[in-house]
Amino acid sequence: MNDIFIILTASLVAINASILGVFLVLRKMSMVGDAISHSVLPGIVVAYFLSGDRTSPLLLIGAALTGVLTSFLINWLSKRAKIQGDASIGITYTFLFAIGMIMIAGGVQGDVDIDMECVLYGDIALINLDKVIVDGNLYLGPRAFFIEGFATIIIALVVRIGFKGFKLLSFNQDFGWSLGLNMNKWHYMMMGLVSLVTVVSFEVVGAILVVGFLIIPAATAQLITLKLKRMMLLASLLGVLAVLIGYYFAVYLNVSITGAMVSVSGLIFFVVLGLKQIKKKSNSSEFEALSTEL
Amino acid sequence: MKNQVSVEVHNLTVSYDGGPVLWDIDFELPQGQIIGIIGPNGSGKTTLLKSIMGLVEPSSGFVKIYDKNLDDVRERVAYVPQRESVDWDFPASVFDVVMMGRYRKKNLLKRTNKADVEIVNQSIEKVGLTEFKNRQISQLSGGQQQRVFIARALAQKADLYLMDEPFVGVDAATESSILALLQEMKADGKTVLIIHHDLQTVSEYFDYLVLLNTRLIAKGNLQEVLTKENLSNAYGGQLTLLSKVVDLIKKTEFPIREKDVDL
């Protein structure tokens, strides 16, 4: 039973992350995902401090706001202050992450406990300790599972309703502006969703490896298909596949579960890349025909 | 006369990082003509188009379209960005991209309706890409990609079209299909503003010209603009271009005295 909930929860992380990862990869903003996943830390700590509770919805809001602030700061540094793009990212997220570290070590004490280990690596094996129990004894599953499920619903709804807006943002922002649409609104909405994904996932997979869930399945799907909706579906499936294989791999070898999942995801990427290269070499026209089909 | 003006630009100055890219540009353009914006590299042509389209914040000055502010006439203006400004590996089909021409503030969160699909299909037909309708844009030639962009603008059903370098890197078939389309648009009373950098073809393509080099050098019909004085003002000491200028003047049958041309 515990196994199933770990797999289900990780699968939801994979699905949430893959859907948004597709847009990040297409916008060549993978590192912004990395930045957001780290810099939401002070938001989380402040929200912990204010609510004194790990289950507070304030946590999600606080972190989502920090994520949006991060992307705003990165934009501002690179566009207004004319700092190089990659330097802006590096400055912003290490700065915010470090502030979060100090807050954890010094400022926030007492009944609130967060440790750096958990922030960085998460601990999916322990999600079952935090149970949702109703009526005193009916066990519904780990809390993390329901939080992920809630995030999945939000992401699916927003992406579904705003699909045209996100597509325009990712393909041709200038054209969107020329239609009189405020593309900044769409950008920050997307960044808010990315923050949401990283926040709800950090307990489970940690701030570092969530980037693997965001980027690797999306990049793999991009190698296989030329259609946007199919790319999102495929990325989600690849993410779940990596979760499944990774979990049993980890149990078999008795190693880190999330580590194994992301490793498998990376392996799948290289296998697909290799197959694509071989196919390209052996028969380029045939591959093109195949891509058109896909 | 006021109702004959499509675009008017007054005292427009735009600067990036210190230096001005456009300096005190002031002009009014006629309606129903194919208008070329020409000038050397870095003369602010793209910036001018982006300012008209509200994509660039001017340091001073203003733009009016059909005597109104841009926001009041958005749906009458269509913009064709430079082809290189987007990543053509993006996973979308020809139909998907042209459909973006039907996106509006009102319908962005709604499903596309039948009328939109009809307009999109007609626009694709007009640029001769019907057989490629469902093809992914990464699998098109440069010329075909350019035609996708033009079809997207056509789908906007606008009156004023702003096109940034639509003739760059296109094959002969695309060039002639764009030219035919332009004539058709002109016959329908549309105004088309096109950035162009190849002086050799200017006299074949356009009815009216704006010659730019940070400042406005000249504007008017071909005979008024394509004088040796204007061109050397715009292109200055660029020797390789000076020979093209001579060719051009010959082509447009201007009297020329070889002695005066200092090559």
| DSSP result, A215-260 | HHHHHHHHHH-S-HHHHHHHHHHHHHHHHHHHHHHHHHHT--HHHH
Domain over A2-109+144-293 is classified CATH 1.10.287.3510: no
Given a cut of 50, is residue B138 above it in pLDDT?
yes
For residue B169, what pLDDT is reported?
A: 85
Separation in Å, CA of A162 to nearest CA in chain B: 6
Q: How would residue B1 be classed by pLDDT, with cut points 50, 70 and 90?
A: very low
- Return the closest-CA partner of residue A231 out of B48, A223, B263: A223
From the centroid of its chain, how far is CA B109?
30
B71 lies within 8 A of chain A by CB = yes
Rounded distance between C-alpha atoms, residue B203 and residue A72, angstroms: 47
B18 lies within 8 A of chain A by CB = no
Given a cut of 60, is residue B256 above it in pLDDT?
no
Given a cut of 70, is residue A147 above it in pLDDT?
yes
Average pLDDT of the residues of chain A: 86
Contact indicator for B242, B69 with CB cutoff of 8 Å: no
Chain B residues within an 8 Å CB radius of A231: 91
A204 lies within 8 A of chain B by CB = no
Residues 6+ apart with CB under 8 A from A169: A23, A27, A176, A183, A186, A187, A190
Given a cut of 50, is residue A76 above it in pLDDT?
yes
For residue B261, what pLDDT is reported?
A: 47
For residue A67, what pLDDT is reported?
A: 86
For residue B112, what pLDDT is reported?
A: 87
- Return the closest-CA partner of residue A23 out of A175, A249, A222: A222
Question: Are A175 and B81 inside 8 Å of each other by CB?
Answer: yes
For residue A294, what pLDDT is reported?
A: 52
Q: How would residue A142 be classed by pLDDT, with cut points 50, 70 and 90?
A: confident
Chain A residues within an 8 Å CB radius of B148: none
Question: Are B91 and A179 inside 8 Å of each other by CB?
Answer: no
Question: Are B81 and A171 inside 8 Å of each other by CB?
Answer: no
Average pLDDT of the residues of chain B: 87
Higher pLDDT, B22 or A126: B22
Rounded distance between C-alpha atoms, residue B247 and residue B263, angstroms: 12
Question: Are A178 and B91 inside 8 Å of each other by CB?
Answer: no
Higher pLDDT, B10 or A286: B10
- Return the closest-CA partner of residue B38 out of B184, B193, B183, B178: B193
Amino acid type, B228 = K
Q: Summarize the confidence of residues B237-242 as an average pLDDT.
A: 59
Chain A residues within an 8 Å CB radius of B78: 178
Separation in Å, CA of A139 to nearest CA in chain B: 39
Given a cut of 80, is residue A277 above it in pLDDT?
yes
The predicted model scores a pTM of: 0.87
Q: How big is the CA angle at A167 (ends A163 and A171), to the nearest 5 degrees? A: 175
Lowest mean pLDDT among A205-209, B217-221, B241-245: B241-245
- Return the closest-CA partner of residue B37 out of B68, B7, B1: B7
Query: Which domains, ranges and CATH numbers included, belong to chain B?
Result: 2-226 (3.40.50.300)
Chain A residues within an 8 Å CB radius of B103: 164, 168, 176, 179, 181
For residue A135, what pLDDT is reported?
A: 67
Q: Summarize the confidence of residues B205-210 as an average pLDDT.
A: 92
Chain A residues within an 8 Å CB radius of B135: 292
- Give me the residues of B, 226-245, that contact A with CB < 8 A: none
Contact indicator for B196, B205 with CB cutoff of 8 Å: yes
From the centroid of its chain, how far is CA A112?
25
Give the number of A-B residue pairs with CB atoms closer than 8 Å: 81
Question: Are A161 and B91 inside 8 Å of each other by CB?
Answer: no
Q: Summarize the confidence of residues A189-202 as an average pLDDT.
A: 88
Instruction: Give residue-wise pLDDT tens across range B83-132.
Output: 999 999 999 999 999 999 999 988 888 888 999 999 999 999 999 999 99
Nearest-by-CA chain B residue for A294: B136
Q: What share of chain B in percent tops pLDDT 70?
A: 89
For residue B263, what pLDDT is reported?
A: 47
Higher pLDDT, A158 or B17: A158
Q: Which of A172, A231, A291 sits opposite B86 (nearest CB)?
A: A172
Q: Summarize the confidence of residues A178-193 as an average pLDDT.
A: 92
Q: Summarize the confidence of residues A88-103 as an average pLDDT.
A: 90
Radius of gyration over every alpha carbon of chain A, rounded to an integer in angstroms = 20
The full set of domain ranges for chain A reads 2-109+144-293
Instruction: Give residue-wise pLDDT tens across range B148-203.
Output: 999 999 999 999 999 999 999 888 888 999 999 999 999 999 999 999 988 888 88
B139 lies within 8 A of chain A by CB = yes
Strands B60-65 and A138-142: unpaired
Chain A residues within an 8 Å CB radius of B141: none
Q: Summarize the confidence of residues A105-125 as an average pLDDT.
A: 68
Given a cut of 70, is residue A55 above it in pLDDT?
no
The DSSP code for A106 is I
Separation in Å, CA of A217 to nearest CA in chain B: 16
- Give me the residues of B, 147-206, that contact A with CB < 8 A: 152
Lowest mean pLDDT among A70-79, A102-111, A243-252, B206-215: A102-111
Rounded distance between C-alpha atoms, residue B15 and residue B21, angstroms: 5
Strands B5-15 and B60-65: antiparallel
Instruction: Give residue-wise pLDDT tens across range B34-88.
Output: 999 998 888 899 999 999 999 998 999 999 999 989 999 999 999 999 999 999 9
Given a cut of 60, is residue B15 above it in pLDDT?
yes
Question: Are A165 and B17 inside 8 Å of each other by CB?
Answer: no
